[in-house]
Amino acid sequence: MFCTQCGRKFGETDRFCAQCGAPKAGAEAASPQPPPVPETDPSLDWRASMVPREIMGHPDVRARIEAVTGENPRGMSAEQFYEFARPVMAITGAGPVPPLKLIKDISLPISAKLGMKTSRDTSQGFRNTFGETLAAVLCSLASRSQPLEDITEATKGCVIRSKMLSSIWSWEGDLIITLEAKEEGTLMSAAITVPGQLSDMGQSKRVLKALVEDVMKYRDTPAGG
């Protein structure tokens, strides 16, 4: 099979073109899909629940997530940027762009082993229950097409693993969100790490700011504001 973008031949195990980064036809469809979240009894008070799977599986929460999925445009990814940059740099005489596979599979891991990384974190309290805050976080991730990789129950809360998607400013980063129930509401702490990259031109800061704004937007407004 050959790449429909640049004509390079795919290897048997390739999911993306090593020359331009374009996905191999059918690669996404062949990816294993996580098991579906079982639906929760509609009579359950998900706002008062401390169990993530009960909250995620409730019909009300599912409807909220479905209503906002893809609501915020993602913008150009790093892969798309390099795809456009290759012919432009060739025309302007700036020299060839290194193959995307070389940068992602070789240069970035080496830089990460040398300790190069970008890190950013933030925290914000909300006068909402754990269930309400978790539902708002899930809506934020869905609205920005950020994957929900894992959610683990913790003492008085949970830990959510997601990704900061690649952009023209940065490669993909690890996004960890922690929710902890407090007497006055719920504390959200979030951190982004981009391994192998010393600067992301403020992208992780913008992503964390958008997360806080999204939770403020999608949460249930508590009494008194």
Residue 25 β-bridge partners: none
Per-residue pLDDT, 214: 96
Looking at residue 212, its amino acid is V
d(CA 141, CA 83): 26
H/E element holding 140? helix 130-143
Q: What is the DSSP string of 155-176?
A: TTEEEEEEEEPP-SS---EEEE
Residue 179 β-bridge partners: 158, 188
Residue with tokens 């192998």: 196
The one-digit pLDDT tens for each residue of the chain (225 residues) are 666 666 667 666 666 655 555 566 654 444 455 556 678 888 999 999 999 999 999 999 999 999 999 888 766 565 555 565 555 545 444 455 555 554 555 555 555 565 666 789 999 999 999 999 999 999 999 999 898 999 999 989 999 999 998 887 788 899 999 999 999 999 999 999 988 777 778 899 999 999 999 999 999 876 555
pTM summary value: 0.71
